[in-house]
Amino acid sequence: MLGPVLLAAARSDSIRRLVSAAPVTRPMVDRFVAGEQLDHCLQAVQSLADRGLEVTIDHLGEDITDRSEALRNRDAYLALTDALAASGLGERAEMSVKLSAFGQALPGGHDLAYENVRPVVEAAAAAGTTVTLDMEDHTTVDSTLAILGELRTRFPQTGAVVQSYLFRTEDDCHALAGEGSRVRLVKGAYKEPAEVAFQDKREVDRAYVRCLKILMAGKGYPMVGSHDPRMVAIAQDLAARYGRKHDEYEFQMLYGIREAEQTRLVADGHRMRVYIPYGTDWYGYFMRRLAERPANMAFFLRSLVSR
Ligand code: FAD
């Protein structure tokens, strides 16, 4: 019950102000976000790299309301790319971007997002790294996949994300399972209507496994984005069934979640990439993490009442 409420709250400005001002919020945010400044993020990247983990970095910012914010977000990613190149971390680090941070929801947003994200993808390629386009709510999927298609004509290593809760995603997996394609499969983190998405968690899980089969059987590079022990085990079985070596797919988990499992997978010889968000605009990301897991919400509420 609480999940949908939190997901709705993730897009409410008044609740954003309330939650952001609560003094107990900060320590909770720090569990999921690697600081507000680029330096904090780079320290976190280095310490994960020292433990054998790879990363994908998200400069937080989404659902912007004017074009100048899109330019600021583009520039933040360009600065991040420069910093990765200078620090020599580019080999272990790629970047994740949300096209809504590049103007996708503004008037003329499709072209605007493409124009703003393209320089980031170019700079990433020049720096020896790459970009994955995060997937947001279902209204953005066609535009995001079209932008992906454009970007991949010059930068085929650009990654996509697909969400198993959407009815359309099996078809998208077939379309994206070709040679050179990099696809992160997740369950999906937004509040979606019953017309377009499975509402029952078991249905979402079953769809996840069907999509995983398509990607593992295909010729691309599957990125298994899940903390679910069942999905991790099934991914390993499918990889073995389709003759994939350990460097022909990877696991991905979010910063601060199941860290022991992240380390265990690396120790077992798997590629494990941590999605690491940083920046000041953490509210929407934070609320989606609370919505996913009642235990996170309970912890947050306990800290509110125990003050
Ligand atoms: P769930 O179905 O939430 O949980 C299943 C089981 O996993 C739980 O029962 C528990 O055993 C275990 N588990 C889950 N969370 C925890 C935890 N915090 N601690 C301990 N055990 C836990 N969503 C999008 O919509 N778009 C994106 O672009 C996107 N990118 C993502 C990138 C990465 C790398 C990851 C990992 C997720 C991303 N997501 C994205 C979020 C995703 O859609 C899910 O909302 C999120 O991963 C929760 O689903 P799950 O598969 O991890 O497990």
Return the CATH number of the domain spanning residue range 34-281. 3.20.20.220
Cβ of 257 closer than 6 Å to ligand 1, yes or no, is: yes
Q: What is the DSSP string of 175-226?
A: HH-STT-EEEEE---S---TTTB--SHHHHHHHHHHHHHHHHHSSSEEEEE-
Which atom of ligand 1 lies nearest, measured to the CA of 187? 43
Q: What share of the chain is helix, strand, coil (3-state, %, to 5)?
A: 55, 15, 30
Identify the pLDDT of residue 245.
Answer: 97
Annotation says 134 is catalytic: yes
Interface ipTM? 0.98
Nearest residue by C-alpha to atom 47 in ligand 1: 226
Q: Give the number of residues written for the chain.
A: 307
Low-confidence spans in the chain with pLDDT less than 50: 307
Q: Which amino acid is present at 299?
A: F
Instruction: Give the pLDDT of residue 307.
Output: 45
The residue annotated as part of the active site, out of 58, 63, 74, 134, is: 134
Domain boundaries, the chain: 34-281
Task: Tell me the per-residue pLDDT of 136-182, one tens digit each, with 9 for 90 and over.
Answer: 999 999 999 999 999 999 999 999 999 999 999 999 999 999 999 99
Choose the residue to mutate in 199, 208, 226 for probing ligand 1, maximizing ligand atoms within 8 Å of C-beta: 226
Q: Is the CB of 224 under 6 A from ligand 1?
A: no
pTM: 0.93
Query: What does the DSSP assignment read for 69-138?
Result: HHHHHHHHHHHHHHHHHHHT-TTTEEEEE-GGGGTTTSTTHHHHHHHHHHHHHHHHHHTT--EEE---SG
**206 part of the active site:** no
